[in-house]
Chains A and B, each alone.
Chain A
Amino acid sequence: MDWVTIISTTVKAAVGVETVLYALAAIGINVHFGYTGLLNFGQAAFMAVAGYGLAVTVTVLGLPFWIGIGVGLLAAVLLAVVLGIPTLRLRADYLAIVTIAAAEIIRLIFRSVAFKDVFGGSDGQRGFSEGFYALNPFPEGDYGFGWFTFNNRVTWVLFVGWLLIALSCLIVYLLMKSPWGRVLKAIREDEDAVRALGKNVFSYKMQSLILGGVIGALGGFIYGLAFASVQPDIFGTETTFFAYTIVILGGAARVLGPVVGSMIFWVLLVLVNGILSGAVEAGYLPFMAPTQVGPVRFLLVGIGLILLLVYRPQGIFGDKREIAIDAR
């Protein structure tokens, strides 16, 4: 087995594009689920409308990159409002079903033949990221040391991505320390008590949904820009579920929980993939075909999610008393 490659890809995965975009999605979910107790199972939809908002504005309408970013963010806010109005008054499991349904509606529309001219069908859209790379201050070349190098485009994406993560974490940290954040946590603990204190619970939940959705939307931008394309099936329900696994792994209701969770999640995923692929290639696992390696690692994600919630629902950094996993 080629250990150098396995270890280098694993280390790179700790800061890689997937880690960044899932960290952003997970920070958003942390605002929803960790702090407010909202079970938003449609985070992938927020990423999708942002990515597609950018892509369609630039490629179909021919408008500049920054307007695309604006359209994407606006789309995420709109989605939060449209989703929130019917569902935020409902109990947690209804919210979960409605958000997951809405995410599927959006994915099906994006991949439909009927709207192929706008959204590009199942192939998605491409060719909208030039505006972003034109801003790249890193000249041509590789950055890093030894085998830990990224080319200038990836470096630029990662730089912006980690900047956004830092910014989001700072915002979440400051907000959750503020009176506003304490109301959110109080809603998570006992909605009726907060209502009795004269707070408009619906409005607070809506603000939380919008904030988390916009942070998730940043993840959608990072995806679109890093891979220079958006495809509908990337934004399926499993994306949301992986982001949930990340939040729970890192620890819900902790500012840095989702970031650390995302790093660990992708390091483990890439490491398992590397070791299994290497072992299969070297013939140590004669019962496994190379194509079965991919499913095996996602199967492990499922087991990991079960074990985490059964034995350590607070994740690595969380506090068990702060997790909204009981019925209300």
Chain B
Amino acid sequence: MRRAVIAFTAFLSGLVLLLTAPAQAATADQGLRGTLTFQGQPVNGVKIVVTTESGQPVAEATTNAQGTWQVPVDKPGKYKVTLDVATLPKDAAVRGGSNVRTPTVYEGNMSTVLFALQPKGAPGQPAQEEGGESSFWTQAAQLAFEGLNLGLIIALAALGLSLIYGTTGLTNFAHGELVTLGAILAYAFNVGVGLHLIPAAVIAVILAGGLGYAQDRFFWGALRKRGTGTIAMMIISIGVALFLRYVFLIFFGGQNEAFAQYTAQPGIEIGPISAAPKNFVAMGIELLVLIVVGVALLRTRTGKAARAVADNPALASSSGINVDRVIRIIWTMGGAIAALAGIMLGLSQNLKYTMGQDILLLIFAGVTLGGLGTAFGALVGSLIVGLFIQLSTLWVPPELKSVGALAVLIIVLLFRPQGILGRRERIG
């Protein structure tokens, strides 16, 4: 069995080696930014003054050679942004006349403030809409791309959660901490030890797989042998989650961090989508891992055994499948791909000790939507959740995007509690 486990982790980590590029992360949690261009050229040296809604000064910024400016702010809320007209080029003016904007900053988001410049004395409203404001469909395409990215990350984490539930009946509230674990381990090897992110990520995934194995071997497996009930195990998993979360807080601290590499990649544009190259690579890896795991579940003996155990442990056991071995492999694999999900999440956002906790409910939403206990349901459900979250920001403020996904989770339970691919009897 051990050989199988090692082989599987090695296989997964081999996949990670293929990974060429993750992440960019803004250093500030939230803030305001913008780019000034005039007749196609960036405008340098324009003063921007940011104050709170009530007029308390926050910060001043000056546009750089690329015409961009950026002001991090401590708190989300409404801000007043004033462009100092006197610092504009002599022949330029702000279109529309007003040099004041009052954007709203949401937690963890950079808000873009738009000042369109036009030649002085030009008529107020030019016929064509230019660059700054993207059309609805461009925005939708961009958000769909981001949603797919998020959905794939959720799917990675959800797969393990769903299979663990299917095989052991455990609703693992500590699964979010396994996601954080992967990101923090990678960070430790990347920033702490000084390895490049790719080998660091490989080591983190292998270690997390090993820890997943150990968790089942020494903890959950022992509890199952004792005959601990599933509800007791669920509450125990909350204890595990609290324990791990505060261990992370002690060793990692409460601040946001980013990996050492791939943090500030310039974006590339493909059609209507603009994203850092690392995002495309990350998505490729995520997809590849998901496909490989999916094929392994469908084609390999262990995969078939895993699905059989998830279906009916007693029947699987009586037909000669070593249920404990299958569960241990699932824990190992689940831990490893949850760690991969954490690394990918750390690439597209920042690392924080609560990052797994924050995404846990979205993982649950994906798993429930797809059908608790099914492998492919988790994939489908997670992708839908990811897309839904990002696309919903077309209409709702970004800070409330998770609300929609969680509301959908509740509504799904109303009308189809077994989820998309689940079966009726599962909900009991």
Contacts and interface: CB of A to CB of B under 8 A. Distances in A.
The answer to whether A binds B is yes
Interface of A: 39, 85-87, 90-94, 96-98, 100-102, 104-105, 108-109, 112-114, 116, 121-122, 238, 241, 244-245, 248, 292, 295-296, 298-299, 301-306, 309-310, 313, 324-328
B171 A96 contact: yes
24 contacts: A86-B411, A87-B413, A93-B230, A94-B372, A94-B413, A94-B417, A97-B368, A100-B364, A101-B365, A102-B406, A108-B403, A114-B399, A116-B77, A121-B77, A122-B75, A295-B246, A302-B240, A302-B246, A305-B238, A309-B228, A310-B226, A326-B230, A327-B169, A327-B229
Interface in B187-228: 223, 226, 228
Nearest to B417: A90
Contact of A302 (B228, B241, B413): B241
B239 interface: yes
B232 interface: yes
Nearest to A92: B231
Contacts of A121: 76-77
A305 B361 contact: no
Contacts of B126: none
Given A113-B104, A310-B228, A325-B231, A93 B171 contact: yes
A105 B403 contact: yes
A295 B251 CA distance: 10
B155 to A, nearest CB: 18
A114 B393 CA distance: 13
A61 B258 CA distance: 44
Contact of B242 (A296, A299, A328): A299
A116 B76 CA distance: 10
Nearest to A297: B246
Given A98-B413, A100-B361, A102-B406, A313 B232 contact: yes
A102 B238 CA distance: 18
B406 A301 contact: no
Contacts of B240: 302, 306
| Range, interface on chain B | 35 or more
A86 B407 contact: no
B399 A113 contact: yes
B217 to A, nearest CB: 16
The 10 A-B residue pairs with the shortest CB-CB distance in the complex, in nearest-first order: A302-B243, A305-B239, A302-B242, A326-B229, A299-B246, A325-B232, A306-B239, A327-B230, A101-B406, A86-B414
B18 interface: no
Contacts of A98: 409-410, 413
B247 interface: yes
Contacts of A39: 231, 234
A135 B335 CA distance: 56
Contacts of B243: 299, 302-303, 306
Contact of A101 (B236, B239, B361): B361
Given A93-B231, A121-B77, A326-B229, 15 more contacts: A91-B427, A93-B171, A93-B372, A96-B171, A96-B234, A108-B403, A114-B400, A248-B235, A295-B246, A296-B250, A298-B242, A299-B242, A305-B239, A306-B240, A325-B228
Contacts of A306: 236, 239-240, 243
B249 interface: yes
A113 B414 contact: no
Contacts of A324: 231
Contacts of B223: 310
Contact of A309 (B239, B411, B428): B239
SS class, residues of chain B in contact with chain A:
helix
Contacts of A248: 235
A112 B399 contact: yes
A43 to B, nearest CB: 13
A104 B406 contact: yes
B106 interface: yes
A302 B235 CA distance: 10
Interface string B406-428: 11011101100100000000011
A310 B249 contact: no
A310 B406 CA distance: 31
- With a 10 A CB-CB cut-off, give which of B232, B414, B417 has the most chain A CB atoms: B232
B242 A109 contact: no
Contacts of A122: 75-76, 107
B97 interface: no
Contacts of A104: 361, 402, 406
Given A113-B76, A302-B242, A295 B229 contact: no
Contacts of B121: none
Contacts of A292: 250
Contacts of A298: 242, 246
Contact of B364 (A92, A97, A245, A295): A97
B236 A108 contact: no
Given A98-B409, A105-B407, A114 B397 contact: yes
Given A92-B231, A299-B247, A328 B428 contact: yes
A85 B414 CA distance: 8
Contacts of B120: none
B101 interface: no
B304 interface: no
User: Which one of A85, A248, A299 has the greatest number of beta carbons of chain B within 10 Å?
Assistant: A299
Contacts of B169: 327
Nearest to B408: A101
Q: Which of B230, B241, B244, B250 has the most CB of A within 10 A?
A: B250
